[in-house]
Amino acid sequence: MAQAAQNPVVQQKVIIPNKYGEKLVGILHETGSVEIVILCHGFQSSKEYNVMVNLAVSLGNEGISAFRFDFAGNGESEGTFQFANYYREVDDLHAVIQHFSGAKRVISAIVGHSKGGNVVLLYPSKYHDIHTVVNLSGRYDLKKGIEERLGKDFMQRIKEDGFVDIKNKTGSVDFRVTEESLLERLSTNMHEACLQIDKECRVLTVHGSADEVIPVQDALEFAKIMPNHKLHVVEGADHGYTSYQAELVPVVLNFIKSALQQDKGNHSSTRTLKMAQAAQNPVVQQKVIIPNKYGEKLVGILHETGSLEIVILCHGAQCTKEYSIMVNLAVSLGNEGISAFRFDFSGNGESEGSSQSSSFWKEVDDLHAVIQHFSGANRVISAILGHSKGGCVVLLYASKYHDIHTVVNVSGRYDLQRGIEERLGKDFMQRIKEDGFIDVKNKTGGVDYRVTEESLLEHFSTNMHDACLQIDKECRVLTVHGSADEINPVQDALEFAKIIPNHKLHIIEGADHGYTAYQAELISVVLNFIKAALQQDKGATS
C-alpha cells in the first residue's frame, strides 16, 4: 500500500461528448495504470461529492486510475437537469466507457452512489462489457420515495398541469418534474433489469443501516435476485456515509482489487495481498474509562485488533472522540490491523470535568494518563495523533515527555496568540479584565463555554516554538495541513517544519480545516507515515 501511494497521480479535466452531442465533464485521476474505474454520482449531485472524490483519491493511492464525471444537466456538464432520466444517464456512462475503451484502457469497475447506483446496475442489464459493478445505496423500488419529494397529490397535480415544480428552501424553483420524466421513473423496473445482468458479472452492494433516504431493505432485495452478488451493510451509516467514509472506502477497494486479481489470473502483488488480509482482521470497539491525575474519568473508544501496537487519537477544541477525522482514522488503522484509541479530553464529550478554552497542559496530562494506562497493560504506543488543538497537545506532550517516537500533528496552530480575537471579539482583553471572564455564545444565544482570565493567560503563555525545540531529534513528526484551512493558516505548518529537525510536512491542496472532501487523502498520508515508522521500529529491534 505504501508503494502504491508513492505513484504519481495526476488529476486532469477530460471532456467527452455523449450521444446527444452534450459535453460531459470529468476529472481523471491518472496513475498510468491500464485499468480504470468509472465513478457515477447520485441525484442532484456532481463529481465533487465527497464519496466520489474520496474513492477516486483512494483508488489512485492504490495505483488504480479513476474517472469521476458529471452526468448531463449536472455539475459542469452540458444539458438540462431532469428528474428521472435513468436510461439517458446509462447512455452517458456508455459514452464514457466507449471513450476509455477506445483509448485502450480496461474498465475494471463501475461504481455508483444513490441514483448512480441504479445507473451502474441498469448499465450491465443493457450492455455486457463490464464485469465488476459496485452499487452504493441504490434504490430497488423506484416507485418509492417520490411522494416525499413531490408531495402527496403529485399525480393529480402533474395530470392537471403537466408538471410539478420542486422549490428549494428560498422558494425558487429547484427543478421541474414533467409527466414524461415521472412516467419514465415509474416504468423503470430494477428487479427486471437486475435479472438481465450476466451471472459472470460481480456485483457489490453497500448500504448504510441508518440510511434516511433509501431504506437498507432495498439492499436486501438486490441481494435476493443477483446470483454473483456480495452485500455489505455499514452499521450506523446514513445515505451519505457522513462519518463512515473510512469504512466505506476499504470495502469498495478490497472488492475491486479482488476482482482485478481474479481477472489477472491471481498474479497479484505483495502489497495487494497484505492490505486484503489486514482488512479481514476482526476489530472490536469497546468503551474504556481511564482516570486522569485530577480524578476525572476520561471516556474513550478502543478499536481493538489484538495488535501489540496502539495509536492514540486526540480531538480538537470544542470537539469529541466522535469527530469524523477521529472515527475515520481509527477505523482505517483497524483495517490495517493496528489498534487505535480515541478519547474525550476532560470537560469534553462523555468525559468528566468542566470545559476550558485553553487547558493545553491539562490536556497533555490527560494524554499522559492514557499513555500510562496502555503502557501499564504492556501495549506499545506506536504513535500519538492530534487534530487542531489536539495537534498542539501531541507536540507539547513530546516536548515534556520523551517516551513516544512518532507524532502526527494535523492542522495544529503554531502561534497561539493568533485567532483569539476572532473567537472573543476585538475588545476581549478589556472585557475580561472588567468581568474576569467572557462567555462565548453559540448561534442560538446560549453559552457555549466560558473563558476566564486565568485560562486566557495560560493560552498566551503557551509557546509552541520553544516547546518544539525540546522535542527529541529521534522523534519522528509529521505535520499535515490543508492549503485552504480557514481556521489555522497553512503558514503555521511551514513554521513547524522550520524548527522540528526530524520532521515531514504534507500540504493537502484545497483542504479546509476539517478536511471535508479530503478525508481519503488525509488518511492515506497518515497511515503510510505510521506504518513506515512501525517498520523502522521493528527493523531496529529485529
Do 400 and 514 belong together in one domain?
Answer: yes
All residues at 6 or more sequence positions from 440 whose CB lies less than 8 Å from its CB, including other chains? 357, 423, 424, 447, 448, 449, 450, 451
Does any domain span residue 496?
yes
Do 112 and 238 belong together in one domain?
Answer: yes
- What was the pLDDT predicted at 28? 94
- What was the pLDDT predicted at 184? 78
Query: Each residue of 419-435: pLDDT tens digit?
Result: 666 666 677 777 777 87
Cell numbers representing residue 416 in the block: 497561539
Do 404 and 438 belong together in one domain?
Answer: no
Stretch among 93-97, 110-114, 179-183, 444-448 having the lowest mean pLDDT: 444-448
Do 400 and 440 belong together in one domain?
Answer: no
- What was the pLDDT predicted at 466? 95
Would you say how long the chain is, in residues? 542
Host domain of residue 499? 281-415+465-541
- What was the pLDDT predicted at 6? 45
**Domain termination residue (choose one: 461, 495, 522):** 461
All residues at 6 or more sequence positions from 508 whose CB lies less than 8 Å from its CB, including other chains? 480, 481, 482, 483, 515, 518, 521, 522, 525
Do 267 and 330 belong together in one domain?
Answer: no
- pLDDT class of 186 with cuts at 50, 70, 90: confident
Do 245 and 202 belong together in one domain?
Answer: yes
Query: 3-class SS at 51?
Result: helix
Query: Each residue of 105-118: pLDDT tens digit?
Result: 999 999 999 999 99
Do 21 and 42 belong together in one domain?
Answer: yes
CA angle (258 as vertex; 252, 263 as ends), nearest 5 = 125
Do 387 and 437 belong together in one domain?
Answer: no
Average pLDDT score over residue span 238-261: 93
Give me the CATH number covering residue 404: 3.40.50.1820
Does any domain span residue 192?
no
Q: Residue 383 pLDDT more than 70?
A: yes
Does any domain span residue 193?
no
- What was the pLDDT predicted at 90? 97
User: Model-level pTM?
Assistant: 0.55
Do 383 and 457 belong together in one domain?
Answer: no
Do 423 and 407 belong together in one domain?
Answer: no
Do 179 and 204 belong together in one domain?
Answer: no
Instruction: Report the number of distinct structural domains present in the chain.
Output: 4
**Domain termination residue (choose one: 247, 276, 305):** 276
